[in-house]
Amino acid sequence: MTIISELLPEDWQAAFAIETQCHSHPWSAATFQANQGERFLNLRANDEGELAGFAICQVVLDEASLFNIAVSPDFQRRGIARQLITALSERLVEREVMMLWLEVRASNHPAIRLYESLDFNEVSRRPNYYPSATGREDALIMALTL
């Protein structure tokens, strides 16, 4: 059973380990720690007694941006990312947030399918936004009206 709760400072080291396992160009430890605190609604997914994934979300007034989401390779394909985004959306509605934004690599088709299944819509594209193994790739900007 997966339990979604707030990502706490004592989770950061384990969450950062997941970050480095899951992303081709992971955040630095400094960037990871800078995206914590009062302005953020950061969640963790606990499964089988261990940290399985996390979501990093900044809230500004009535909008929020999902900056980062990752699920440990040991726990992927179990719907944990969906559970994190669903729980995040519910908590944002409680805070009267109207819109949730995110950026995703244009090549990340599984993530794009997940976001579309959760009613996110593509609203724009940022050319050459993300570094890639072969240079740069576009970011799709997606939004969910809450």
63 catalytic, yes or no? Answer: no
Containing structural domain, residue 67: 2-145
What global pTM score does this model have?
0.94
pLDDT of amino acid 133: 83
CATH number of the domain residue 111 falls in: 3.40.630.30
Spatial distance between the Cα atoms of 120 and 3, rounded to a whole number of angstroms: 24
Closest to 79 (Cα-Cα) out of 118, 122, 41: 118
The residues facing 63 across adjacent strands are 60, 99
71 annotated as a binding-site residue: yes
Spell out the per-residue pLDDT of the chain, length 146, in tens. 899 999 999 999 999 999 999 988 889 999 988 998 899 999 999 998 899 999 999 999 999 999 999 999 999 999 999 999 999 999 999 999 999 999 999 999 999 999 999 999 999 999 999 988 889 999 999 999 99
Total tally of structural domains belonging to the chain: 1
Q: Structure tokens of 57? A: 């979300």
Establish whether 68 is an annotated binding residue.
no
115 tagged catalytic: yes
Contact 92, 100 (CB under 8 A): yes
- For the chain, where are the alpha helices, taking DSSP H only? 12-22, 29-34, 80-94, 109-117
